[in-house]
Amino acid sequence: MKKVIICEGKHDGVLIEQLLKKIGFSHKEIYLFNQNKVSMQRKKRAETDILGRFISKKNPYKILIKLEGGKHSAIKIFSSNMSYCIENIDLLVLMIDLETGNAEEKIEDLKNVLKTLRKPTPITLNFEGKKDIEHLHHFSASVNIEKTGEFIGKFEVIFFKSSLEQSCGINKDKTTTDEERKDKIDKFLKDSERINFFSKIIK
C-alpha cells in the first residue's frame, strides 16, 4: 500500500518518522522529501518526479513524507496533486497547523483552494469530523464530481489545534538544538491516546 503525507516543515517530518517507527514501520519503508533542499530551478519538476517515482510499482517505499516549507506551500501543493494522488495511492494525508484559526474556517479555505484548482471539472467535497483530542483534530474528506456525483476518492486532514511546536513545547530560537527538539517530539508521542489517534489514520 502506498501512502503520502504532506506537511509543513522539518518538525513535522521528525514527528511522522518517529510515529511511523512506533507503530511498526521500518525506516526502509519511509522516504522523506524536503522541498527546501531542492533548488529553485528543480522545484516544479521535482514535485512531479517524486510522486511518479514513488507511485511506481518498482519503488520499495510504502510511505512518502513531503515537507513543503510552510503551511501555504503545503496547502498549495496538496491541492495541486490531490486528484492525482487519490486516484493512484491508498492514502493521502494533509497535516498542518491551525495557529490562530479554527478547524471549520480552515476546512472552508481548503475547499475553496481545491475547487479553484479543479476547474474546469467542478467537484464537491464532504468533510466529516472523525476525532478530536487535546492538541489534534482529524477530518476525513470524500471527493465527488459535482455534475455526476461520481466518487473520485478520499483524503484525510490532521490539524494541530495551535501548532506542532507549541504542542511539543519547542522554541524556534537558534539556542534550541535539533536533538532537544527531537526529544520534545518523542515525549509528545509517548502519550498512548496520541499514538492511537495517528495510528488509526495512517496504519
Q: Where are the alpha helices (DSSP H) in 69-191?
A: 71-88, 103-117, 164-168, 178-188
Q: What is the dihedral sign for C-alpha 68, 70, 74, 76?
A: negative
Residues 19 and 186: their CA atoms lie apart, in Å, by: 9
Residue 43: per-residue pLDDT: 64
Each domain of the chain, given as residue ranges in start order, spans 3-202
Angle between helices 71-88 and 43-55 in degrees, nearest 10: 30
More confident residue, 146 or 18: 18
Q: What is the mean pLDDT of residues 24-45?
A: 83
Q: Report, as an integer, the average pLDDT of 137-156.
A: 94
pLDDT band at 157 (very low <50, low <70, confident <90, very high): very high
Please check the confidence at residue 173 and state whether its pLDDT lies above 90.
Answer: no
- Summarised one tens digit per residue, pLDDT across range 66-92 is 999 899 999 989 998 998 999 999 999
pLDDT above 80: residue 7:
yes
Residue 42 has pLDDT above 90, yes or no: no
Q: Which three cell numbers stand for residue 14?
A: 521528525
CA distance 170 to 136: 16
Convert the pLDDT of each residue in 98-129 to its tens digit.
988 789 999 998 988 888 876 677 889 999 99
Lowest model confidence (mean pLDDT) among 4-13, 25-34, 36-45, 81-90: 36-45
pLDDT of 23 > 90? The answer is yes
Residue 40 has pLDDT above 80, yes or no: no
In angstroms, the CA 51 to CA 108 distance is 26
Average pLDDT over residues 182-195: 96
Model confidence at 166, pLDDT cuts 50, 70, 90, reads very high
